Amino acid sequence: MAELRALAGPVERRPGSRNPETLRSPVGATRANRGAPPGLDAIRCGRGNRSYPRRDVHTRRVTQYLCDTSGLVAALCTWHEHHDRTRTELQRRTDAGETLVLAAHSLVETYAVLTRLPGQGRLGVDDAIALIEANWRDTPVVHLTPAQTWGALDQARRRSLAGGRTYDVLIAVAALKSGASTILTWNVRHFAPFADEIKIEAPP
Predicted confidence (pLDDT) at residue 42 exceeds the cutoff of 90: no
Return the pLDDT at 121: 84
Other CB atoms within a 10 A radius of the CB of residue 63 amount to 14
This prediction's pTM: 0.71
pLDDT confidence of 118, banded at 50, 70, 90? confident
Predicted confidence (pLDDT) at residue 27 exceeds the cutoff of 80: no
Give all strands (DSSP E) within 15-63, no chain letters.
none
Predicted confidence (pLDDT) at residue 35 exceeds the cutoff of 60: no
| Residue 92 identity | R
Other CB atoms within a 10 A radius of the CB of residue 31 amount to 7
By CB atoms closer than 10 A (0-12, 13-18, 19+), residue 119 is exposed
**What is the mean predicted confidence (pLDDT) over 100-107?**
96
| Contacts (Cβ under 8 Å, ≥6 apart) of 137 | none
- Tell which residue, 147, 157, 202, 203, has the closest CA to residue 177: 147
pLDDT confidence of 14, banded at 50, 70, 90? very low
Other CB atoms within a 10 A radius of the CB of residue 128 amount to 23
Predicted confidence (pLDDT) at residue 29 exceeds the cutoff of 80: no
Angle between helices 165-178 and 146-158 (to 10 degrees): 130
Identify how many contiguous H helices and E strands the chain contains and give both numbers. 6, 7
What are the chain's domains? 62-201 (3.40.50.1010)
What is the C-alpha to C-alpha distance for residues 141 and 165, in angstroms, rounded to an integer? Answer: 21
**What is the mean predicted confidence (pLDDT) over 18-33?**
39
pLDDT confidence of 81, banded at 50, 70, 90? very high
State the virtual CA torsion across 37, 39, 45, 50 in degrees, nearest 10. -40
Mean of the per-residue pLDDT values of the chain: 78
What pLDDT, in 10s, does the model give residues 137-159? 999 999 999 999 999 999 999 99
Return the pLDDT at 68: 97
